[in-house]
Amino acid sequence: MKHSKKFREIWVSTDSHMIANEATKCGAKVHWRSRMSATDTASSLVALQDFIKGHKEFDRIGLIQCTSPFLAVKYLNEAFEHLQQGYDSVFSVTREFKLRWKENRPEKTFVAVNFDPARRPRRQDWDGELVENGMFYFTRRHLISRGLIQGGRIGVVQVERKDSLEVDNPADLNLARYQSGDL
Amino acid sequence: MKHSKKFREIWVSTDSHMIANEATKCGAKVHWRSRMSATDTASSLVALQDFIKGHKEFDRIGLIQCTSPFLAVKYLNEAFEHLQQGYDSVFSVTREFKLRWKENRPEKTFVAVNFDPARRPRRQDWDGELVENGMFYFTRRHLISRGLIQGGRIGVVQVERKDSLEVDNPADLNLARYQSGDL
């Protein structure tokens, strides 16, 4: 975020003194999360709502999640370009090529959802599908107040698959360490 | 496959003498792939069609792909149970919880496909979606002849996310080595 040089201020939202110390050392400001927004099940929206309540000065806000360790400046720059073009919310996605199936309940059989089994597509034959990868969400105050992270004119930044890892459990963390050359 | 003890015969389909040697050492029989079915772009269906042409004795066939290194006997056993219950094709899937988006072409904005942005679901709030992971496909001769891997009464075996890695490029291979404790 610092390297992009495009953020007016960088805040770390936490309820941990250790994390707050690290954040301050790195030049970020610290937002002390409310009790309600610091639970294990609190959503990103609740975290954003908690933040804007104490910070009336921001209209545009980018939520960058530390669970996506392969964030790169180029992705942030692309998001900023979108914002300059008038998009209200911009977030990161990954292009995936997954063949999906759905259960037919009474019969307990399965049907293909996004392709024809008589013509199974190869990766090069279709555009795939865009899925959120949780790396970042840029949005605006009035959307957050209305309970939305994504609203208004919505744009996306496509992240390469190799950079899309989302750390969700200890195994993912090891994977991230390995991928970054730390292991 | 050997550990499951449920296969009448185990064949390795290849056009490589090195792979054929390894296969024989491990007790598998070798099917020499035709030129046409051994290209980089040949589909799994073409490989199956190539195999059944020379092997009229098999009605049921399981294609197990060596690109899924975390195959476990329990998954094969589950597939066999389905076959005994009368399913014609059974293949492996993974449950994913991905929020999908689609481009609205003329406007160049994006719309959510499988959820409501005003009520972003948490993982625990929905069933997710089933996607093929390419680990295995059990099917029948008459389906393959008709150009289908999946047809008739279709069932699935759900593979845990940690076992679902599909090796598609050298980075994946390193990931697999790391995950298996080899690195």
Pick the residue of B43, B120, B177 with the most A CBs within 10 A to test the interface with A by mutation.
B120
Whether A177 is catalytic is: no
The bridge status of strand B100-104 relative to strand B109-112 is antiparallel
Q: Does B73 touch chain A (CB under 8 A)?
A: no
Task: Exactly one of B100, B105, B119, B120 is catalytic; name it.
Answer: B120
Interface predicted TM-score of the whole assembly (ipTM), two decimals: 0.92
**How many whole angstroms separate alpha carbon A137 and alpha carbon A47?**
12
Mean pLDDT by 10 residues, chain B (183 residues): 95 96 97 87 90 94 96 98 97 96 91 95 88 98 96 97 90 84 71
pLDDT tens column, A70-84: 999 999 999 999 999
Biggest CA–CA distance in chain A, Å, is 60
Torsion angle of C-alpha atoms B95, B99, B103, B109, degrees rounded to 10: 180
Cα A38 from Cα A43, distance rounded (Å): 9
* Model pLDDT for residues B31-78, shown as the tens digit of each residue: 999 888 888 888 889 999 999 998 999 999 999 999 999 999 999 999
What pLDDT shows up at residue B183?
A: 61
How many whole angstroms separate alpha carbon A98 and alpha carbon A101?
10
pLDDT of residue A36: 81
Does B43 touch chain A if contact means CB atoms closer than 8 Å?
A: yes
pTM of this prediction? 0.90
